[in-house]
Structure 1
Amino acid sequence: MSVIHIRDRQDILEIGFSDICKYHGGIALMAVAVGYRSLQAAFKELFGDEIPERGAISICSGHGGPGFRDAFEFVTRAVTRGAYQVDTAYPAGQYDPYRPQGYAFVITSETGASVEIVLNENFLPMTFYDYLKKGREETMTEADVATFGKLKRALAERALVTPLGELFTTRRIQ
């Protein structure tokens, strides 16, 4: 699987999915994988073969979950730099039938060029949203937790191997 290259002042860092997992832990692996892949798609669109500067990237996430936040933070340090915002009302990628939460991300370079990355609607099954709702509203059984964990791992693995064009809809904004 490919890695993300990013410049941190004079250093070029090579960041893989497993690196972010060490930082994040294992609670939201699907989100870590989708966040990671969304950065790959955005960097390809915004920078081509150039390696972006960490401090030159800002992110607006339609999803407030820790997996997305940690993927974006680990690669770009956008949270630490104050260049990260969450807008759960962002209109694209609103697939969760139980709450506003967008699976869309706007990544912007210091030049003002922006790209919208939207997870394709068919990627997450309804069962995923049902488990999220159940976890918010009631106590999940051990079996539920185990089954949901397996589902999240399977979705993470799928996100990592799905071609970017099949996983996301990418659109230049500016």
Structure 2
Amino acid sequence: MSIIQIRDGRTGEHLKKIRFEDVEKYHSGEFLMAIAVGYLSMQAGIEALAEGEILDRKDISVLSGHGGPGFRDAIEYVTRAQTRGALTIDVDYPVAQYDPHRAQSYAFVLTLKNGASVEVSLKEEFLPLEFYDLLKKGREGTRTEADELRLDQLKKELCDRALSMPREDLLQVKRLA
């Protein structure tokens, strides 16, 4: 798997090479699908904005259509946007609204200080209806132990699938500005 290269430090003097495994260690491990899709989304957005250069973390702001902890951890680990106050969560973002039970976007907008911006969205067919139904049961407090085990298994399967499939089959990248 490829890595994300990004600069950090007051003057961008530190080159960070971030792998999915680094984000996985940072995260609790409960939301594997989200950290995989979040990591790959950050990678795709950064590569599209960088145009062959290495970006500086402090120049990137992120709008996330999903406020869940897995996505937040992937965004934070790669960009430190939450720590820097450069992360906005908007579950009503009008792109990639696939959950039939609630507003929740699977889209991310990365914007540079110079105004360049890209939208990275998960393709609709990636997450099965069963996934959304199990999440709904959890919000309602009706998820059984069998449901919990199935959701854990599904998250792991989706994580592995996301990491192994061609990026163009998983994500759509669109330049906004």
Moved more, 135-144 or 66-75: 135-144
Runs of 4+ in structure 1 off by over 4 angstroms are none
Q: How do 1:59-74 residues align onto structure 2 when only pairs under 5 Å count? A: 59-74=62-77
Distance across 2 between alignment mates of 1:106 and 1:13: 21
Q: Paired residue for 2:35?
A: 32
Q: Do residues 158 (structure 1) and 161 (structure 2) align?
A: yes
Partner of 1:86: 89
Q: Secondary structure at the match of 1:118?
A: strand
The offset of 1:92, in angstroms, is 0.3
Q: Which residue of 2 aligns with 1:3?
A: 3
Which consecutive unaligned segments of at least 5 residues does structure 1 have? none
DSSP 3-state at the match of 1:49: coil
Task: Name stretches of at least 5 consecutive residues in structure 2 with no aligned partner.
Answer: none
Question: Are 1:53 and 2:56 an aligned pair?
Answer: yes
Q: Which secondary structure state, in structure 2, belongs to the residue aligned with residue 107 of structure 1? A: strand
1:97 aligns with 2:100: yes
Q: Distance in 2 between matches of 1:50 and 1:158?
A: 29
CA-to-partner distance for each residue in 1:37-59, whole Å, 9 max, x for gaps?
A: 00111112111221110111000
Q: Which residue does 1:123 correspond to in 2?
A: 126
Deviation at 1:140, TM superposition (A): 2.2
Distance between the aligned counterparts of 2:165 and 2:111, measured in 1? 24
Size of the aligned set, in residue pairs, is 174
| Partner deviation per Cα, 1:33-92 (whole Å, 9 max, x = no partner) | 001000111112111221110111000000110111000000110000000000000000
Q: Name the SS of the counterpart of 1:105 in structure 2.
A: strand
Pair 1:137-2:140 in alignment: yes
SS in 1 for 2:102: coil
Q: Give the TM-score normalised by structure 1.
A: 0.97
Question: 1:142 deviation in Å?
Answer: 2.0
Q: Match of 2:140, as an amino acid? A: E
Percent sequence identity over matched residues? 55
Residue 18 of structure 2 is matched in structure 1 by 15
TM-aligned CA deviation for residue 6 of structure 1: 0.8
